[in-house]
């Protein structure tokens, strides 16, 4: 579904002539948020050691593709391979996230799309306050996106999946919508992409009791070109917090 919406948005946004030109370029897709964006599909605690371990299972929808590259932590373009956040969310064990299935789906639906340049930026356990302008994660995101642009890219979309950490306190919940809006607005402004399509996933789970309240803020964000995909009800892993590999892939089901 996400990839259909992206292609529809782009088709409306660009005249045909312009589209042909842009097809030569690198299509930049930013991935940001916390653990469910970084990807924990296939990660479980090892029964013997208790250490979180990825099972290494990569379904066809997440396989590497010569047309999908990824900006590494040291700002080099490399072929994208799961787990694509391994060197970004480096303190955690990463597994399957939504980035590869999204990129593969876009290319399957539009074989003329060109090269997809994924810019992974998600870090597990991060609150929306850490994604505000001036904070480390925000500045890293802007820096990585600008680097991607300098290599001849065009901003196509940001996929955003965050909020589980903001379900603890009533105060954070009340501030959530304002912080989220400010983050989206500041980012669009700093990237000079005022209509950057943003695909936001509404929470399926949370670390605290205020999941519904954060979901309401997300679903009611009310900004142009922000599309919400609801993850509520998707099967979660054994920790009750993280989307399974199948759930991650179903975010892109038509």
Q: How many residues bind ligand NAG (CB under 6 A)?
A: 6
Q: Give the contact letters, 50-89, x = binds to ligand NAG (CB under 6 A), - = no.
A: ----------------------------------------
Shortest spacing between CB 13 and ligand NAG, in angstroms? 40
| Neighbouring C-beta atoms of residue 16, cutoff 10 Å | 7
Contact call for residue 235 and ligand NAG (CB under 6 A): no
Is 85 a residue of the active site?
no
> Which residues are within 8 A (CB) of 232 and not within 5 positions of it... i.e. 6 or more apart?
202, 203, 204, 215
Contact 100, 84 (CB under 8 A): yes
- Cα pseudo-dihedral 161, 165, 167, 171, rounded to 10: -110
Is 239 a residue of the active site?
yes
Q: Which of 237, 245, 249, 251 binds ligand NAG (CB under 6 A)?
A: 237
The distance from CA 127 to its chain's CA centroid, rounded to whole angstroms, is: 15
Contact call for residue 45 and ligand NAG (CB under 6 A): yes
Residues in the chain: 254
The active-site residue out of 169, 189, 239, 253 is 239
Is 12 a residue of the active site?
no
Contact call for residue 236 and ligand NAG (CB under 6 A): no
CA–CA dist 207, 200 (Å, integer) = 19
CA–CA dist 185, 164 (Å, integer) = 21
Contact 249, 108 (CB under 8 A): no
- Which residue lies nearer to ligand NAG by CB, 239 or 253? 239
Contact call for residue 194 and ligand NAG (CB under 6 A): no
- Which residue lies nearer to ligand NAG by CB, 114 or 237? 237
b/e map 69-83, b = 16+ CB within 10 Å: bbbbeeeebeebebb
The active-site residue out of 67, 242, 247, 252 is 242
Contact call for residue 234 and ligand NAG (CB under 6 A): no
CA–CA dist 3, 31 (Å, integer) = 14
- Which residue lies nearer to ligand NAG by CB, 42 or 197? 42
- Which residue lies nearer to ligand NAG by CB, 207 or 230? 207
Shortest spacing between CB 46 and ligand NAG, in angstroms? 9
User: Residue 206: enclosing H or E segment and its boundaries?
Assistant: none
- Which residue lies nearer to ligand NAG by CB, 43 or 149? 43
Contact call for residue 212 and ligand NAG (CB under 6 A): no
CA–CA dist 79, 182 (Å, integer) = 33
Stretch that binds ligand NAG, among 31-39, 153-161, 210-218, 236-244 (CB under 6 A): 236-244
Longest Cα–Cα distance in the chain: 59
- Which residue lies nearer to ligand NAG by CB, 50 or 220? 50
Q: Which residues are part of the catalytic machinery?
A: 35, 239, 242
Q: Which residues bind ligand NAG (CB under 6 A)?
A: 43-45, 237-239
């Amino acid at each position: 579904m996400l990839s259909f919406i992206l292609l529809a948005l782009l088709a409306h946004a660009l005249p045909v002539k312009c589209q042909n030109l842009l097809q030569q370029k690198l299509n930049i897709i930013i991935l940001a948020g916390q653990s469910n964006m970084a990807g924990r599909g296939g990660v479980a605690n090892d029964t013997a050691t208790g250490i979180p371990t990825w099972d290494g299972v990569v379904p066809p929808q997440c396989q590497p593709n010569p047309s999908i590259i990824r900006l590494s932590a040291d700002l080099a373009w490399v072929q994208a391979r799961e787990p694509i956040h391994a060197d970004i969310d480096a303190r955690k064990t990463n597994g399957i996230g939504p980035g590869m299935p999204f990129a593969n789906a876009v290319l399957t639906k539009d074989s003329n799309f060109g090269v997809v340049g994924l810019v992974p930026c998600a870090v597990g356990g991060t609150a929306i306050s850490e994604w505000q302008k001036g904070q480390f994660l925000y500045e890293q995101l802007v820096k990585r996106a600008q680097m991607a642009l300098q290599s001849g890219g065009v901003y196509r979309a940001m996929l955003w999946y965050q909020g589980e950490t903001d379900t603890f306190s009533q105060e954070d919940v009340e501030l959530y919508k304002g912080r989220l809006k400010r983050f989206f607005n500041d980012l669009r402004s700093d990237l000079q992409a005022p209509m950057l399509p943003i695909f936001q996933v509404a929470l399926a789970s949370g670390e605290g009791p205020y999941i519904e309240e954060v979901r309401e803020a997300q679903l009611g964000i009310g900004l142009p070109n922000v599309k919400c995909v609801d993850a509520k009800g998707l099967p979660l892993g054994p920790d009750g917090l993280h989307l399974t590999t199948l759930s991650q892939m179903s975010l892109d089901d038509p």
